[in-house]
């Protein structure tokens, strides 16, 4: 593989370490998954019930449980979770549908009370009269009139009136892109579909406000905030937020104690003389075949940035795209679907390519047929990626309504991928895992690399394995159950096993380059596994505070999610080692082949602390999340963490592969594009956050506190002058990110690819 023997393939004997590390990892993993599974299966008992029938006081059926389920399916089929939110989860161009429905229902209740008790329209009452009426509204709405034995729910008159009036209001909402954040004009006009969609919204609003049996809060822990409806933060949200701070301080204190006692952990820097700056790699045929994976990843990344710019424009001006109405062809729900799916695809493609490349490094042997199998895998990935994107567009355009769940878009945020494409993706990831194991298998036979190979396999297995929860539900499953399994993927799959796999790959890279010893690389993996799993597994539940689960989840998840910050503190402490490495590669080590790989990894550490740590902890505490979830502070965290951490990791792996397969002459030609891209991406992301998303989030959360959650998510607020201006102010950062970041990186990959073909 190399002109000189690889650092990884040198068999120097077994690396000695204490078995206490393995015991600690096993305890943390078993304990974490035991509690997470307990929370998950408890959701089946705690979920808001879907009644067989919803009736009025006279026993007349208003709608059925099947209507609720069909309404949820309609909600998903038209991509409405990529327009607005349910219980704070979804997109930000439209309203939170339960919150808006609940507020309108509360106002109708106030009007009815005013007419019945005071014989005066509500708007004609003086301030004292309105306050008297308002004080009675929550008493009506919080009554739990659900009969468990008969599985029947009784709606009071104001709830009945709301149900009959709402379909027309939603028809008006769907009629004009300007009114709904860029959906297709007249998206839903069928009276049956509008009625069933209203049934779903009515059920989510009912669960938001009615008291859970034997509880003083609703099924959603009093979310969303609406004083008229009587929804206010629970005592548990305050108590467990305070407790989470205690967990955080104890975790940081323990880390600093161990760190200081051991004079620092992690990437122990060798002397500069130990690093071989000029070692030339000779990649195998299968490794060279991975360049096209990086080209496709760069293409998808560029496409995602362009689509993201379109989504941002819909926020600033939903009815006009520089003189054109594109909502009938590319509605905002489609662009956001593509924006999320492209992010997952290009990052996963980068990780897959990096994994296969480093598996070959770890194994040290080129097996017969590995290149052919790699090319077949590439073709399979291409079919799934581009086929699913095309079918998502066709599905949202109504080309195959009856099978859109299977072939088009499922409609669940982040998991819009049609069920058929999900199955094919899982198969593709399983094949990728087999190829990675095959390439790295010789590393298992050497004592010096046996342990790191095992961890490589475990981390790689987690990627196809923890995507399987995507198959545990369909479009009619109770929303609480779906959201539970959905975040097993969004949080645990990405922030758990993707991060673990990234740690192992970085360790393999650094060992191979001679930056760290095998023992140091292995110890970092041990420590990272413990710290990630300690808070990250149970911390998954911080997404479920207000999705129909009880305060039991809030207590555990609120406390343990605070510990997710602890490994980020470690990365910050170890950032100095990365900086020393950067400095060593910019002076005497100017010829170091992988200095740009290191610099991309330095940016990963920075965004990990800021995006995942600071911005993540900012919104993770229950009391903050109560007012914040579904506001622009969420995408502020999401962009900084998703791209800043996992995106930059994927790009660093891409840079590593491009440099390995390039001659010095070729690399000097593309290095300028890599450098430009590095600074363009980091500066553009910082501008995007600082100028637009972060101030938008704070202004929006202020409005939540002042006027209620429904108002902060309403078109009246999101299209206001200030919010629209902040939407336009995102453009400078977007332009820097695209023009100086994504485009130069794509050009660099093309130049390397064409040079290898020549």
> What pLDDT digit, counting tens, does each position of 500-522 carry?
888 888 888 877 777 777 777 77
How far apart, in Å, are the Cα atoms of 637 and each of 399, 487, 697? 35, 16, 10
**pLDDT tens per residue, range 295-315:** 999 999 999 999 999 999 898
Do the beta carbons of residue 385 and residue 345 sit within 8 Å?
yes
Q: How would residue 264 be classed by pLDDT, with cut points 50, 70 and 90? A: low
Of residues 75, 89, 84, 140, the one with CA closest to residue 113: 140
Residues 6+ apart with CB under 8 A from 153: 51, 53, 54, 55, 145, 146, 147, 206
Q: Respond yes or no on whether the N-terminal peptide bond of residue 224 is cis (omega within 30° of 0).
A: yes
Q: DSSP E strands: which ranges in 339-497?
A: 409-412, 415-417
Distance, C-alpha 70 to centroid of its chain = 27
**pLDDT value of position 271:** 46
Of residues 273, 410, 242, the one with CA closest to residue 337: 410
**pLDDT value of position 267:** 46
Least confident of 25-29, 273-277, 562-566, 727-731: 273-277
pTM of this structure: 0.92
Residues 6+ apart with CB under 8 A from 706: none
Residue 591 has pLDDT above 60, yes or no: no
Average pLDDT (467-494) is 93
**pLDDT value of position 253:** 84
How far apart, in Å, are the Cα atoms of 30 and each of 23, 157, 533, 538, 677? 11, 51, 10, 11, 42
Residue ranges of domains in the chain, CATH in brackets: 20-42+236-757 (1.20.210.10), 51-232 (no CATH)
For residue 262, report the phi and psi dihedrals to the nearest 5 degrees: -100, 15
**pLDDT tens per residue, range 236-248:** 999 999 999 898 8
Partners of 324 in beta bridges: 321
Q: How would residue 100 be classed by pLDDT, with cut points 50, 70 and 90? A: very high
**pLDDT value of position 2:** 41
Do the beta carbons of residue 192 and residue 337 sit within 8 Å?
no
For residue 417, report the phi and psi dihedrals to the nearest 5 degrees: -50, 130
Q: How would residue 16 be classed by pLDDT, with cut points 50, 70 and 90? A: low
Do the beta carbons of residue 54 and residue 153 sit within 8 Å?
yes
Percent of the chain with pLDDT over 70: 91
Residues 6+ apart with CB under 8 A from 485: 40, 469, 470, 472, 473
| Measured distance CA(754)–CA(661) in Å, rounded | 12
Residue 189 has pLDDT above 50, yes or no: yes
| Measured distance CA(391)–CA(617) in Å, rounded | 37
């Amino acid at each position: 593989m190399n002109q000189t023997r690889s650092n990884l393939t040198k068999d120097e004997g077994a690396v000695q370490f204490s078995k206490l590390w393995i015991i600690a990892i096993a305890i943390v993993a078993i304990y974490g998954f035991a509690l997470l599974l307990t929370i998950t299966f408890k959701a089946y008992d705690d979920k808001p019930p879907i009644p067989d029938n919803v009736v009025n006081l006279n026993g007349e059926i208003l709608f059925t449980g099947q209507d609720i389920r069909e309404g949820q399916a309609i909600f998903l089929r038209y991509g409405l979770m990529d327009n607005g939110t349910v219980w704070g989860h979804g997109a930000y161009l439209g309203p939170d549908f339960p919150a808006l429905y609940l507020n309108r229902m509360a106002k109708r209740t106030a009007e009815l009370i005013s007419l019945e008790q005071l014989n005066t329209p509500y708007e004609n009452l003086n301030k004292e009269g309105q306050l008297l009426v308002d004080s009675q509204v929550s008493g009506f709405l919080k009554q739990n009139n659900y009969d468990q034995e008969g599985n029947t729910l009784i709606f009071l008159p104001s709830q009945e009136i709301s149900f009959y009036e709402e379909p027309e209001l939603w028809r008006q909402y769907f009629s004009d892109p300007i009114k709904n954040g860029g959906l297709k004009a007249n998206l839903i006009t069928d009276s049956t579909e509008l009625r069933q969609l209203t049934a779903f919204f009515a059920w989510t609003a009912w669960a938001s406000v009615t008291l859970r049996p034997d509880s003083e809060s609703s099924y959603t822990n009093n979310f969303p905030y609406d004083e008229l409806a009587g929804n206010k933060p629970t005592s548990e949200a305050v108590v467990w937020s305070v407790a989470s701070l205690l967990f955080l301080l104890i975790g940081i204190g323990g880390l600093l104690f161990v760190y200081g006692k051991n004079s620092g952990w992690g990437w122990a820097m060798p002397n500069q003389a130990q690093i071989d700056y000029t070692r030339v790699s000779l990649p195998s045929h299968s490794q060279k075949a991975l360049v096209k994976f990086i080209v496709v990843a760069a293409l998808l990344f560029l496409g995602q940035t362009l689509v993201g710019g379109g989504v941002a424009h819909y926020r600033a001006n939903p009815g006009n795209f520089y003189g054109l109405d594109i909502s009938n062809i590319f509605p905002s729900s489609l662009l956001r679907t593509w924006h999320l799916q492209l992010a997952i695809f290009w990052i996963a493609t980068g990780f897959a390519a990096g994994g296969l490349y480093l598996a070959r490094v770890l194994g040290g042997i080129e097996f017969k047929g590995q290149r052919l199998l790699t090319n077949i895998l590439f073709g399979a990935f291409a079919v799934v990626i581009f086929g699913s994107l095309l079918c998502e567009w066709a599905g949202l355009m109504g080309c195959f309504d009856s099978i859109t769940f299977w072939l088009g878009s499922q409609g669940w945020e982040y998991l819009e991928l049609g069920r058929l494409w999900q199955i094919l993706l899982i198969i593709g990831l399983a094949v990728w895992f087999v190829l990675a194991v095959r390439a790295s298998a010789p590393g298992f036979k050497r004592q010096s690399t046996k342990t790191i190979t095992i961890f490589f396999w475990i981390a790689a297995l987690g990627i196809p394995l923890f995507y399987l929860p995507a198959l545990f539900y369909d479009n009619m499953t109770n929303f609480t159950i779906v959201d539970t399994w959905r975040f097993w993927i969004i949080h645990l799959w990405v922030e758990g096993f993707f991060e673990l796999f990234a740690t192992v790959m970085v360790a393999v890279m650094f060992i191979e380059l001679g930056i760290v010893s095998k023992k140091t690389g292995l110890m970092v993996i041990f420590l990272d596994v413990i710290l990630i799993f300690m808070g990250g597994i149970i911390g998954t539940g911080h997404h479920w505070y207000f999705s129909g689960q009880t305060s039991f989840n809030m207590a555990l998840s609120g406390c343990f999610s605070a510990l997710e910050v602890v490994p980020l503190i470690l990365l910050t402490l170890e950032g100095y080692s990365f900086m020393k490495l950067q400095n060593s590669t910019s002076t005497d080590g100017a010829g170091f082949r992988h200095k740009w790989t290191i610099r991309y990894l330095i940016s990963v550490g920075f965004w990990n602390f800021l995006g995942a740590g600071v911005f993540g902890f900012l919104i993770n505490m229950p009391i903050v999340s109560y007012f914040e979830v579904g506001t622009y502070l969420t995408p502020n965290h999401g962009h900084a963490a998703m791209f800043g951490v996992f995106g930059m990791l994927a790009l660093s792996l891409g840079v590593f592969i491009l440099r390995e397969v390039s001659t010095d002459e070729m690399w000097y030609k593309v290095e300028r594009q890599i450098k430009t891209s590095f600074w363009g991406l980091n500066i553009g992301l910082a501008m995007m956050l600082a100028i637009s998303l972060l101030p938008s989030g704070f202004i929006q959360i202020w409005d939540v506190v002042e006027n209620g959650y429904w108002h902060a998510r309403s078109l009246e607020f999101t299209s206001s002058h200030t919010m629209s201006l902040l939407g336009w102010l995102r453009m400078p950062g977007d332009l820097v990110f695209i023009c100086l970041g994504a485009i130069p990186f794509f050009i660099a990959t093309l130049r390397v690819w064409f040079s290898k073909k020549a």
